């Protein structure tokens, strides 16, 4: 069975390689404007992941589509990808010394077989409180954190901003491998799919 990752994220691609031997990538363009106060960050992350999967499933109804989307939540406010460097600096200054919730929604679906699994993983991230404005501005200037929810990436230079992580580290990178593996295993068993999961 053909499996498609509905994301152009290089981090998600690398993480998926640990679970699946074969898959292809088809980028899903959706409106990810989620800035501002939201009642349920988990629902927003799951909805965005599902939207991404649905966009690709329309073109590939027989394939198993994996959609994922990450949001960062602090004090009831959701932060997606920054619009520009100025906004990225603003995000990072706001996160300084705080604990954020990093939530990645995951959707697994196949139109033809009526498969629709949606879940999410939440990880807590504590940002150092002694990060200088200059450090933040230099980080943003070199392009790190661009195209990342909340403007930082733990697998790159942004990890120097992080004091501790509680929960699934890979969820902050962009995809909870453990959660996705569990969802794919469920889909394989419930719908008798011919997919080859790595051990």
Tokens of 85: 């460097």
Residue 49 Cα to chain centre, angstroms? 8
Question: Among 4, 118, 145, 2, which Cα is nearest to 12's?
Answer: 4
Q: What DSSP character marks residue 186?
A: H
Q: How far is CA 145 from the centre of its chain?
A: 13
DSSP state of 157: G
The catalytic position among 69, 84, 119, 130 is: 69
Q: Which helix (H) or strand (E) holds 47?
A: helix 41-59
- 69: annotated active-site residue: yes
CB distance 82 to 21 below 8 Å = no
Where is 179: in which H helix or E strand? helix 177-190
Instruction: List the catalytic residues.
Output: 69
């Amino acid at each position: 069975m053909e499996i498609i990752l509905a994301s152009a994220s290089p981090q998600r691609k690398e993480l998926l390689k640990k679970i699946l031997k074969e898959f292809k990538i088809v980028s899903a363009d959706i409106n990810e404007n989620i800035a501002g106060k939201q009642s349920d960050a988990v629902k927003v992350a799951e909805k965005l992941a599902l939207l991404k999967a649905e966009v690709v499933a329309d073109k590939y109804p027989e394939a198993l589509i994996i959609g994922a989307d990450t949001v960062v939540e602090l004090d009831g406010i959701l932060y997606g990808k920054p619009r520009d460097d100025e906004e990225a600096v603003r995000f990072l200054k706001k996160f300084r010394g705080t604990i954020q919730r990093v939530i990645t929604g995951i959707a697994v679906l196949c139109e033809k077989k009526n498969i629709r699994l949606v879940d999410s993983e939440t990880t807590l991230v504590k940002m150092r409180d002694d990060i200088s404005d200059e450090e933040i501005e230099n980080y943003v200037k070199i392009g790190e954190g661009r195209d990342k929810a909340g403007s930082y990436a733990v697998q790159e230079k942004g990890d120097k901003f992080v004091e501790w992580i509680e929960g699934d580290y890979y969820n902050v990178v962009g995809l909870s491998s453990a959660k996705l593996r569990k969802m794919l295993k469920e889909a394989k068993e419930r719908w008798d799919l011919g997919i080859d999961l790595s051990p």
